[in-house]
Structure 1
């Protein structure tokens, strides 16, 4: 059954005749007659009892008309909703963001996005970069904020590049240095993000390249708590410079980390060759608008 033939039949009933229906749908009377005949042939039952110039509904015609009105209304609603999705008046964005850096990098974007597309529902997931990559691979989210390098299964757009700084107790022997290497810190206990955070892996990999295994005394997802542990003299922590600058503490010194491979590169990633909704594309376009093309 085609919506075209169903529409013709419904309009014949609504308008009270074939010629009136033809004018309503901008077709010829012959086209309307053929459409109704096609529908009757498909159902194997007469839908209209033609008496002279009048057409009365048969029992089957009443059933088809009743359901046809609902089907056509549902189709119109469907098309209207799809139009709204195309125009980004509704829809959903499944976005994964890491706790580290999101308040600086993504909160302003989120505000602009909500202003531009108030009808889009943003389903926000917050995890460390490593766990977000798993969710992205599984198709649970459309886009994720991740640290580079990342999986070859993803495409990405770089958001920012930042060096790391070592957060040292004020009385540490390297606290007044302009820069420092991880090998200088091999005897200092490490306070790291939990292992679900990509920054955890970055620091451990760089330590091994420097020839030692880090002595990890604490792991946390809370930046302020980690800084508090450093201020209490328990060890060294590491943060991207842009974040550390906003978390200054009189008991803690910030020293630039100069080891290769420790740059903090945040990107928005998506599955390569995956379908991206209009809502997801709009977020990517906003990222490119604010942070430039790669």
Structure 2
């Protein structure tokens, strides 16, 4: 039995007229009559009582109609669901992010994506850059917001580039200066993030201090940046934080720029290229099916939203 048999039967059962049902289905009446007889023969049950003037459902036919309608409805639902999944409107997306991403680009990008694709299930995971690289390669994450340089063979697109500023207790003597020199910080206790969390940025800060003739006295290593700012408010030390963190109001803390070239915090969105492009490439070349099945329409849609967001930001600058 095929789905078309059910559709033919439902059309006749609802119209109770072979001619009107055939017209509705776009087939001839003799073909429809033959298909209904084949269905009844297959089931071994008379579904319809018909004469030249009357078509009626038998009792088994009435029961079968209920089940046939349910099957057809479920089939249509399944078709709609798989089509929406192929369009990236349904599915799951595992996203990695670092602390700075959460306080800069990520909330707005997620809001835009959720507005457009509300039925996609998002799972968010806070990892440092090396952890995200490993998770992306292992397909534990589909996309990540992390800090370059990236050693893993991943595709990437820059979404943020901003200088670091110095967070100081508001009653600190240096807070009276509108702008600082890195040399002003030579005797200050530093609150830093662990080197493993952001090795490149950590290296920039250390190099800046070394060029100024001192090695920073690190009294505390913590993450994320709001925790660092909290420790600054508690007068534990000073800290380098991204410029965007100034938007977080914290009593007892002021922010000052450096007159020297400040360390730069960069953020990229990264993904495993095979998850995005393999299906299009292999289908064009007649490649293997297993590679095609690794494509992710949801990832495609997410990266499209990131691209659009980036263009909007650039237009405002």
TM-score by length of 2: 0.64
Q: Is 1:45–2:66 an aligned residue pair?
A: no
Q: Is 1:21–2:21 an aligned residue pair?
A: yes
Distance 1:17-1:153 versus aligned 2 partners, 3 A rule? farther
Q: Is 1:271–2:272 an aligned residue pair?
A: yes
Cα deviation code 1:104-138 (max 9, x no counterpart): 42334444455x43744563525144345555445
Q: 2:223 matched to which residue of 1? A: 221
2:145 & 2:110 partners in 1: Cα distance? 13
2:312 & 2:126 partners in 1: Cα distance? 23
Distance 1:247-1:55 versus aligned 2 partners, 3 A rule? closer
Q: Measure how far apart 1:16 and its partner are.
A: 1.8
Q: Measure how far apart 1:264 and its partner are.
A: 1.6
Q: 2:143 matched to which residue of 1? A: 143
Cα deviation code 1:25-64 (max 9, x no counterpart): 22222332354355457x4635546654466667875665
Q: Measure how far apart 1:177 and its partner are.
A: 7.4
Q: Measure how far apart 1:91 and its partner are.
A: 6.3
Distance 1:163-1:252 versus aligned 2 partners, 3 A rule? closer
Residue from 240, 243, 253 that aligns with 1:241: 243
Cα deviation code 1:222-261 (max 9, x no counterpart): 43442354466644532223435766966665436748xx
Distance 1:149-1:59 versus aligned 2 partners, 3 A rule? farther
SS at match of 2:100: coil
Q: Measure how far apart 1:71 and its partner are.
A: 0.8
Q: 1:31 matched to which residue of 2? A: 31
Q: Measure how far apart 1:7 and its partner are.
A: 0.7
1:62 & 1:158 partners in 2: Cα distance? 63
Q: Quick check: 159-168 or 213-222, which moved more?
A: 213-222
SS at match of 1:221: coil
1:279 & 1:120 partners in 2: Cα distance? 13
Q: Is the 1:188–1:236 Cα contact (8 Å) retained in structure 2?
A: yes
Q: 2:306 matched to which residue of 1? A: 284
Q: 1:76 matched to which residue of 2? A: 76
More helix by share: 2
Q: Quick check: 80-89 or 15-24, which moved more?
A: 80-89
Q: Is the 1:144–1:269 Cα contact (8 Å) retained in structure 2?
A: yes
TM-score by length of 1: 0.68
Q: Is the 1:188–1:215 Cα contact (8 Å) retained in structure 2?
A: yes
Q: Is the 1:167–1:237 Cα contact (8 Å) retained in structure 2?
A: yes
Q: 2:200 matched to which residue of 1? A: 202
Q: 1:161 matched to which residue of 2? A: 161
Q: Is the 1:98–1:129 Cα contact (8 Å) retained in structure 2?
A: yes
1:282 & 1:191 partners in 2: Cα distance? 37
Distance 1:252-1:291 versus aligned 2 partners, 3 A rule? closer
Q: Is the 1:128–1:196 Cα contact (8 Å) retained in structure 2?
A: no
Q: Measure how far apart 1:153 and its partner are.
A: 4.1
The answer for unaligned runs of 5 or more in structure 2 is: 276-295
2:191 & 2:179 partners in 1: Cα distance? 20
Q: Measure how far apart 1:161 and its partner are.
A: 1.2
